[in-house]
Structure 1
Amino acid sequence: MVGQFQPKLPENMPYAKILLVNNVAGAEKVINELKRLYHRLPAAIIFRVGNGFETGLSQWAEYFTLLPAMKTVPFFLVTDKVTDRVRSLKKEFPFVDDVITRGMLNDISGKIEFVAKFKNMQEVQPARQTPVLPVSAQKSKWKGNLLKRTFDIVASACLLLIASPVMLLIAIAIKLESKGNVFYASPRAGKNYKIFKFYKFRTMVADADKQLSKLQHLNQYSGDGKGAVFYKVSNDPRVTRLGSFLRNTSLDEIPQLFNVLKGDMSLVGNRPLPLYEAATLTTDEWAERFIAPAGITGLWQISKRGKKEMSAEERIELDINYAHRNSFAYDMWLIMNTPKALIQKDNV
Structure 2
Amino acid sequence: MKASVVYAGSSLKNLLAADLGAQFRIQTAMPTADLNTYLSEQSLLSLPDIILIETDPAEECFKAIGKIRKNPLLQGLIIVLVSGEKRNEWKQKAFALKVHDYYTYPFPTEDLCERLNFLVKFRLIKPRLAKLSEEVDVTYKTPTFKRYFDILASGCALLVLSPIFLIVAIVIRLESKGKIIYKSKRVGTGYKIFDFYKFRSMRSDADKMLASMASLNQYDDVESADGKSAFVKIKNDPRITKVGNFIRRTSIDELPQLVNVFKGDMSLVGNRPLPLYEAEMLTSNEWSMRFLGPAGLTGLWQISKRGQKEMSERERKKLDNFYAINHSFWLDMKIIIGTIPALLQKEKV
TM-score range, shorter chain: 0.5 to 0.7
Provide the C-alpha distance between the structure 2 equivalents of 1:253 and 1:344, rounded to a whole number of angstroms: 16
Provide the C-alpha distance between the structure 1 equivalents of 2:271 and 2:312, rounded to a whole number of angstroms: 16
Q: Which moved more, 1:142-151 or 1:338-347?
A: 142-151
2:75 corresponding residue in structure 1: 125
Provide the C-alpha distance between the structure 2 equivalents of 1:321 and 1:228, rounded to a whole number of angstroms: 20
Provide the C-alpha distance between the structure 2 equivalents of 1:115 and 1:335, rounded to a whole number of angstroms: 33
Q: What SS does the aligned partner of 1:169 have? A: helix
2:303 corresponding residue in structure 1: 302
Provide the C-alpha distance between the structure 2 equivalents of 1:284 and 1:39, rounded to a whole number of angstroms: 23
Provide the C-alpha distance between the structure 1 equivalents of 2:244 and 2:73, rounded to a whole number of angstroms: 43
Provide the C-alpha distance between the structure 2 equivalents of 1:234 and 1:227, rounded to a whole number of angstroms: 17
Within-5 A mapping of 1:25-174: 124-126=74-76, 145-174=143-172
Q: What SS does the aligned partner of 1:214 have? A: helix
Provide the C-alpha distance between the structure 2 equivalents of 1:343 and 1:289, rounded to a whole number of angstroms: 26
Within-5 A mapping of 1:1-348: 124-126=74-76, 145-222=143-220, 223=222, 225-226=226-227, 228-348=229-349
How far does residue 308 in structure 1 lie from its aligned partner after superposition?
2.1
1:16 corresponding residue in structure 2: none
Identity of aligned residues (%): 54
Q: What SS does the aligned partner of 1:331 have? A: helix
Provide the C-alpha distance between the structure 2 equivalents of 1:176 and 1:253, rounded to a whole number of angstroms: 20
The residue type equivalent to 1:171 in the other structure is A
Cα 1:345–1:338, aligned 2, differ >3 Å: closer, same or farther?
same
Cα 1:318–1:122, aligned 2, differ >3 Å: closer, same or farther?
closer
Stretches of structure 1 that go unaligned for 5 or more consecutive residues are 1-37, 41-113, 132-137
**Does the aligned pair in 1 maintain the 2:299–2:335 contact within 8 Å?**
yes
Give the structure, 1 or 2, with the largest relative contact order (CA under 8 Å, sep 6 or more).
2
- Normalised by the length of structure 1, the TM-score is 0.60
The residue type equivalent to 1:246 in the other structure is I
Provide the C-alpha distance between the structure 1 equivalents of 2:163 and 2:150, rounded to a whole number of angstroms: 21
**Does the aligned pair in 2 maintain the 1:117–1:282 contact within 8 Å?**
no
**Does the aligned pair in 2 maintain the 1:191–1:293 contact within 8 Å?**
yes
Provide the C-alpha distance between the structure 2 equivalents of 1:196 and 1:250, rounded to a whole number of angstroms: 21
**Does the aligned pair in 2 maintain the 1:307–1:345 contact within 8 Å?**
no
Provide the C-alpha distance between the structure 2 equivalents of 1:329 and 1:308, rounded to a whole number of angstroms: 29
**Does the aligned pair in 2 maintain the 1:248–1:347 contact within 8 Å?**
yes
Q: What SS does the aligned partner of 1:185 have? A: strand
Cα 1:143–1:205, aligned 2, differ >3 Å: closer, same or farther?
closer
**Does the aligned pair in 1 maintain the 2:269–2:332 contact within 8 Å?**
yes
2:126 corresponding residue in structure 1: none
**Does the aligned pair in 2 maintain the 1:305–1:344 contact within 8 Å?**
no
How far does residue 288 in structure 1 lie from its aligned partner after superposition?
0.5
Cα 1:143–1:175, aligned 2, differ >3 Å: closer, same or farther?
closer
Q: What SS does the aligned partner of 1:338 have? A: helix
Provide the C-alpha distance between the structure 1 equivalents of 2:285 and 2:73, rounded to a whole number of angstroms: 11
How far does residue 230 in structure 1 lie from its aligned partner after superposition?
0.8
Q: What SS does the aligned partner of 2:320 have? A: helix
1:71-111 deviations in Å (ceiling 9; x for gaps)? xxxxxxxxxxxxxxxxxxxxxxxxxxxxxxxxxxxxxxxxx
Q: What SS does the aligned partner of 2:149 have? A: helix
Provide the C-alpha distance between the structure 1 equivalents of 2:243 and 2:182, rounded to a whole number of angstroms: 14
**Does the aligned pair in 1 maintain the 2:302–2:342 contact within 8 Å?**
yes
- Normalised by the length of structure 2, the TM-score is 0.60
Q: Which has the larger radius of gyration?
A: 2
**Does the aligned pair in 2 maintain the 1:196–1:264 contact within 8 Å?**
yes
The residue type equivalent to 1:237 in the other structure is P
Stretches of structure 2 that go unaligned for 5 or more consecutive residues are 4-42, 50-70, 80-96, 99-135
What is the Cα-based RMSD across aligned positions, in Å? 2.9
1:86 corresponding residue in structure 2: none
How far does residue 164 in structure 1 lie from its aligned partner after superposition?
0.4
**Does the aligned pair in 1 maintain the 2:219–2:229 contact within 8 Å?**
no
Provide the C-alpha distance between the structure 2 equivalents of 1:203 and 1:302, rounded to a whole number of angstroms: 22
How far does residue 325 in structure 1 lie from its aligned partner after superposition?
1.1
Instruction: Tell me how many residue pairs correspond in the alignment.
Output: 227
How far does residue 157 in structure 1 lie from its aligned partner after superposition?
0.3
Cα 1:227–1:283, aligned 2, differ >3 Å: closer, same or farther?
farther
